Amino acid sequence: MLSYRHAFHAGNHADVLKHAIVIQMLRYLGQKDKPYWYIDTHAGAGVYSLTEGFATKTAEYETGIARLWDRGDAPPLITDYIDEVKALNPDDDMRFYPGSPYLAYRVMREQDRMRLYELHSTEIDVLRHNFRDAGRRTMIYEGDGFDGIKAILPPPPRRALVLIDPSYEDKRDYARTLTCVEECLKRFSTGTYAVWYPIVTRPESQRFAEQLKAIQPKGWLHASLIVKAPPKDGFGLYGSGMFILNPPYTLAAELKSALPFLVDTLGEDSNASFKLEHRAD
């Protein structure tokens, strides 16, 4: 939706789960010399201030990255994520939070490429500014990533991570995401697709993971993190999930140690929990 601004939510518990997983999947792709593409259907602004503007109104980062900032006992997947966020804050003062595109840009190598979509007219201006020196490795498209991605699949190197993470403020985003995944798999069946989704009381959210499993019965991983009980009024985010199609074979083992740590660190009440399930080819 054009009213949505991710800066309100930057660095929250959902960002922690999403970005820690994205970093590890890109690390995995980078183990081979052959190049890969990173494709983001809803890129946002790329970098967010935590000390001014939208983020200060909600301070959601206090439920996420702030709780991890000084932890020296995190498992490797989480430590890698913390280190990448701290790289944007070299004085160790938590002032900025990197979105998915910025984290991907840091992890990418010279031979890799990034394709970013953003529909919001203000966000894309900020995104372009933040990547003004990125050169030919990065291309930014103003438009709907659900539609735009079809034109660039399959990517020339036949290796890619596609992140699909709309806001879901419009409940139609659930159906559009399912359709997007189905159509992308027809064009590029071997790509890795990472679908982020919010855990809220809305029925579309509650059945979403099972619908994704039905698209590809094998070759998927589902990780979710719940940080508190569902709100009594039925509104608000109390967890999030990542559903990966064609995941790296190493990811499940990495999450097996990372998710309990996130429950202990980010959990807000006794309802905090995680789910990790996967099915190989």
DSSP line for 25-38: HHHHHTTSSS--EE
Residue 234: its pLDDT value, please? 82
Q: Please calculate the CA angle 92-97-102 and round it to the nearest 5 degrees.
A: 115
Would you kindly state where each structural domain of the chain is located, as residue ranges? 6-279
Mean pLDDT in residue range 80-95? 94
Each residue of 117-174: pLDDT tens digit?
999 888 899 999 999 998 889 999 999 999 999 999 999 999 999 999 999 989 999 9
Among candidate residues 15, 40, 112, 165, the one labeled active-site is 165
Cα 239 from Cα 12, distance rounded (Å) = 10
Mean pLDDT of 110-116: 97
3-state secondary structure 71-127: CCCCCHHHHHHHHHHHHCCCCCCCCEEECHHHHHHHHCCCCCEEEEEECCHHHHHHH
For residue 165, indicate whether it is catalytic. yes
Query: What architecture is domain 6-279?
Result: 3-Layer(aba) Sandwich (3.40)
Tens digit of each residue's pLDDT (9 = 90 or more) over 226-265:
999 999 888 889 999 999 999 999 999 999 999 999 999 9
Question: pLDDT band at residue 4, thresholds of 50, 70 and 90?
Answer: very low
Beta strand ranges found along the chain (DSSP E): 37-40, 47-49, 96-98, 113-118, 138-142, 160-164, 192-199, 220-226, 239-245, 273-279
User: How many angstroms separate the CA atoms of 101 and 138, rounded?
Assistant: 10
Cα–Cα distance for residue pair 251/228, rounded to 1 Å: 25
The angle formed by the CA atoms of residues 199, 204 and 206, to the nearest 5 degrees, is 45
CA distance 161 to 35: 11
Res. 82: pLDDT tops 50: yes
How confident is the model at residue 6, as a pLDDT? 67
**Predicted model pTM:** 0.95
